[in-house]
């Protein structure tokens, strides 16, 4: 099972590279069957170590930089809740989005590609956060890199929506934006 999941991850990363660079041939890299949909949630297993490293690095930054209060640290329960939110909110919200857009037949494609995009983004976020504990970036450099990461994240979500839903740029932006806005709303409500 793990070997098949690793093969899916490899193919998906090739597909994402093609998708992001506006090249053809990205579709065959993703299994958009029902089994492919189920297996794409296996990305959650493969991305767990990167998420743990992200949480550890974020907690290290908070404790050593002293710029933020100790309440900003992730507790184990908060980390588990965040990880569940990252993987489970989107598929639920996407059902509503594709229903409103009349693109229910594109739901599986969107979720599969999105799941593998999240896998890539979690690894990139972990890598960036680890720069500070490794002594390769100070808080100012890290803040600048995280701003670039935010733009890259928004671009990737937009590109995935446009491509997987086979829709126009504006509709893709709206489709990608709705889950992001709802995710931010959930984060805000939970943090109150």
| CA-to-CA separations, 101 to 32, 45, 115, 177, 183, in angstroms, rounded | 19, 31, 20, 14, 20
Average pLDDT by consecutive 10-residue portion of the chain (192 residues)?
A: 90 97 96 94 96 95 70 84 95 97 97 98 97 93 96 97 96 96 91 78
What is the pLDDT, as a whole number, of residue 63? 85
Query: Global pTM?
Result: 0.93
């Amino acid at each position: 099972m793990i070997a098949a999941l690793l093969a899916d991850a490899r193919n998906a990363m090739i597909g994402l590279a093609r998708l992001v660079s506006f090249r053809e041939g990205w579709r065959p890299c993703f299994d958009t069957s029902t089994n492919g949909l189920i297996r794409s949630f296996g990305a959650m297993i493969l991305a767990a170590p990167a998420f743990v490293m992200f949480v550890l690095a974020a907690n290290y930054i908070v404790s050593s930089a002293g710029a933020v209060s100790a309440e900003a640290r992730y507790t184990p329960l908060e980390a588990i809740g965040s990880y569940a939110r990252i993987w489970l909110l989107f598929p639920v919200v996407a059902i509503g989005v594709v229903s409103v857009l009349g693109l229910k037949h594109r739901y599986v494609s969107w979720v599969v590609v999105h799941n593998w995009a999240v896998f890539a983004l979690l690894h990139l976020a972990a890598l960036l956060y680890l720069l500070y504990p490794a002594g390769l970036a100070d808080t100012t450099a890290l803040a600048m890199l995280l701003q670039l990461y935010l733009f890259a994240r928004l671009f990737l979500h937009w590109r995935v929506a446009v491509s997987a839903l086979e829709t126009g740029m504006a509709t893709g932006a709206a489709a990608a934006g709705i889950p992001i806005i709802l995710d931010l709303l959930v984060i805000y409500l939970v943090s109150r």
